[in-house]
Amino acid sequence: MKATASFGLIVTLAASLTACSNLPRMSDEERLALFRDHAGESIASFSLLGANTGFSGWTALGREALAVWPRTNEGYLLDLNGICEDLNFATGISLSNLGNRVSAGFDYVYVRGVNNPTALPCLINTIRPLDTRGLEAAQKELRQAEVIEREQQAGGNAATPG
């Protein structure tokens, strides 16, 4: 019952998103809300040990937060201390660390952008571990809901033979 209600809510959310704009993408605020819904309580730090190149991926979530994955199945939501210029347009990021540990209130995200080849430092305010499986499942449901919505719109917009 809960899964059906959850899927219904996601379909409704996806429908309202596509009704507001024909873009199938979520806004930064909606994506950040989705990530926050799948983040645990704040932690002091996380380890980069075992991560071959520092981290395996990252996703900007507006100008004040991002998600990083030190390993493919381990992710963290980083809330930054204020606006981080060029985060949405970054071509790359790096994380400061001490002894391969990234710490809230101490370490920085360094943003590299097309317009600013020098790294801009953005202080990490909080670190929250992500439920990566739950997040992936929610994203999959949203994608499926978007497909259903597009199919319904295409069916409703098709010309009737006459």
Nearest to 107 by CA among 23, 48, 21: 48
Under DSSP, the state recorded for 98 is: B
When pLDDT is averaged across residues 8-16 and rounded to a whole number, the result is: 31
Q: Which range is least confidently modeled, 43-47, 73-77, 105-109, 154-158?
A: 154-158
Structure token digits, residue 31: 């994506």
Do residues 40 and 67 touch, judged by C-beta distance below 8 A? no
Q: Burial code of 107-134, b = ≥16 C-beta within 10 A, e = fewer?
A: bbbbbebeeeeebbebebebbbbbebee
Average pLDDT over residues 93-122: 88
At residue 130, the pLDDT reads 95
Backbone phi, then psi, for 103, in 5-degree steps? -120, 140
Report the pLDDT averaged over residues 146-159: 71
Both tokens of 137, joined, read 């499942």
Residue 16's pLDDT band (cuts 50, 70, 90): very low
Phi-psi region of 151 (alpha: psi -120 to 50; beta: other; left: phi over 0): alpha
Residue listed under structure tokens 């002091």 = 44
Question: Which residues contact residue 43 at a Cβ distance below 8 angstroms, ignoring those fewer than 6 apart?
Answer: 104, 127, 128, 129
- Which ranges constitute the DSSP H helices of the chain? 2-20, 28-37, 132-157
Q: For the residues 37-49, what does the mean pLDDT come to? A: 94
Please give the pLDDT value at position 17.
Answer: 32
Amino acid in the structure at residue 55: F
**Distance from C-alpha of 81 to C-alpha of 47, rounded to nearest angstrom:** 21
Q: How far apart are the first and last CA of the chain?
A: 43
Q: What is the model's pTM? A: 0.73
